[in-house]
Structure 1
Amino acid sequence: MVLWYVLIGFFIGWVVEWLIDVVYWRPRLRAARAELETCRQQLADEQERAMLFQAKIEALEEEGKGLRARVQRLEGERDRYRHERDAALAELRSYAAAAVEPEASPAAGDDLKRIEGIGPKIERLLQQAGVRTFEKLAATPAARLKELLAAGGSRFRLADPGSWPQQARLAAEGRWDELEAYQKMLKGGRRR
Structure 2
Amino acid sequence: MVVWYALIGFLIGWVVEWLIDVAYWRPRLRSARAELETCRQQLDDERERAKLLQAKIEALEEEAKGLRARLQRLEGERDRYRNERDAALAELRSFATEADRPGEAVSPGDDLKRIEGIGPKIERLLQRAGVRTFEELAATPVARLKELLAAGGRRFRLADPGTWPQQARLAAEGRWDELAAYQKMLKGGRGR
TM-score (norm 2): 0.66
Q: Which residue of 2 aligns with 1:126?
A: 126
Provide the C-alpha distance between the structure 2 equivalents of 1:151 and 1:72, rounded to a whole number of angstroms. 30
* Alpha-carbon displacement from aligned partner over 1:110-159 (angstroms, at most 9, x marks no partner): 44334244344322322344534323322444444334223212333454
Corresponding residue number in structure 2 for 1:44:
45
Does the C-alpha gap of structure 1 residues 32 and 134 become closer, same or farther in structure 2, counting only changes over 3 Å?
same
Is contact 1:99–1:128 with CA below 8 Å preserved after alignment? no
Deviation at 1:37, TM superposition (A): 0.8
SS at match of 2:62: helix
Task: Give secondary structure in 1 for the equivalent of 2:151.
Answer: helix
Q: Residue 42 and residue 189 in structure 1: after superposition, are their counterparts in 2 closer, same or farther (change >3 A)?
A: farther
- After superposition, give the CA deviation of every residue in 1:149-175 in whole Å (9 maximum; x if it has no partner): 232123334544343222211122222
Mapping of 1:153-164 within 5 angstroms?
153-164=153-164
CA distance in 1, matches of 2:74, 2:121: 39
State the percentage of identical aligned residues: 48
Which residue is equivalent to 2:171? 171
Cα distance in 2 between the residues matched to 1:16 and 1:121: 119
CA deviation after TM superposition for structure 1 residue 72, in Å? 1.1
Superposition TM-score, scaled by structure 1 size = 0.66
Give the residue type in structure 2 aligned to 1:154.
R
Alignment of 1:48-127 (within 5 A): 48=49, 50-52=51-53, 54-55=55-56, 57-59=58-60, 61-62=62-63, 64-66=65-67, 68-90=69-91, 92-93=93-94, 96=97, 102-104=103-105, 108-127=108-127
Gaps of 5+ in 1: 1-5
